[in-house]
Amino acid sequence: AGEYIDSLYDGSPILLVSILNGAFVFMADLCREVKVPCEIAFMAAKSYYEGTESSGNVEITMDLKHDISKYHVVVIEDIIDTGLTAKFLIDFINNNFQTKSTKFCSFLDKRIARKTDVKPDYYGFEMDDKFVVGYGLDYEGYFRNLDYIVYKK
Ligand code: 5GP
């Protein structure tokens, strides 16, 4: 993914925007692979669930503060499941900010569970429809600190 981000560089700086909390570990690894001039920023989003399904109702609990019009923005997510959260975030950024371009990069892509037409511009791994924890991903707040990904059979 570092090489993908490097390839976006055309002289305008790159802004990596990590979506908290889940993407903080991926962001920390990914930003160290980027060799072109880049800055980092954080947004926090809370997805509301109906049972185990994300409802598409997303609350932005921490927003980008500064003018980002000079940047190629790369939004960094932990996982795209139904895609409802990603769709909300992409629309939110496009409606509220001017950017040079906006790309979407996710560590995991649970494509089989998709309910929207959201496709990441770059993803680390495609996975089955399983609930995973570790490497930033939680279950009720726990397990984000595991340095591997695990699922319950
Ligand atoms: P979506 O809106 O695409 O259905 O869900 C996106 C969010 O749901 C992710 O950012 C993540 O917080 C959470 N999520 C989706 N699948 C998983 C999973 O397998 N494990 C964990 N821990 N969280 C998940």
Distance from Cα 93 to the centre of ligand 1, integer Å: 19
Residue 113 to residue 7: CA distance in whole angstroms? 29
Q: Which residues contact 84 (CB under 8 A, 6 or more apart)?
A: 47, 54, 55, 56, 58, 115, 116
Token pair 């809370």: residue: 46
* CB 85 near ligand 1, within 6 Å: yes
Segment 74-130, tens digit of pLDDT: 999 999 999 999 999 999 999 999 999 999 999 999 999 899 999 999 999 999 999
Which residues belong to the active site?
81
Query: Which of 17, 43, 47, 104 best tests ligand 1's pocket when mutated (most atoms within 8 Å of CB)?
Result: 47
Residue nearest to atom 23 of ligand 1 (CA): 137
Region of 126 (left: φ > 0; alpha: ψ -120 to 50; beta: rest) is: beta
Distance from Cα 132 to the centre of ligand 1, integer Å: 9
Segment 33-87, tens digit of pLDDT: 999 999 999 999 887 776 666 777 888 887 887 789 999 999 999 999 999 999 9
9, 22 contact by CB (below 8 A): no
Residue 45 has a pLDDT of: 87
Reduced to 3 states (helix: H, G, I; strand: E, B; else coil), residue 143 is: coil
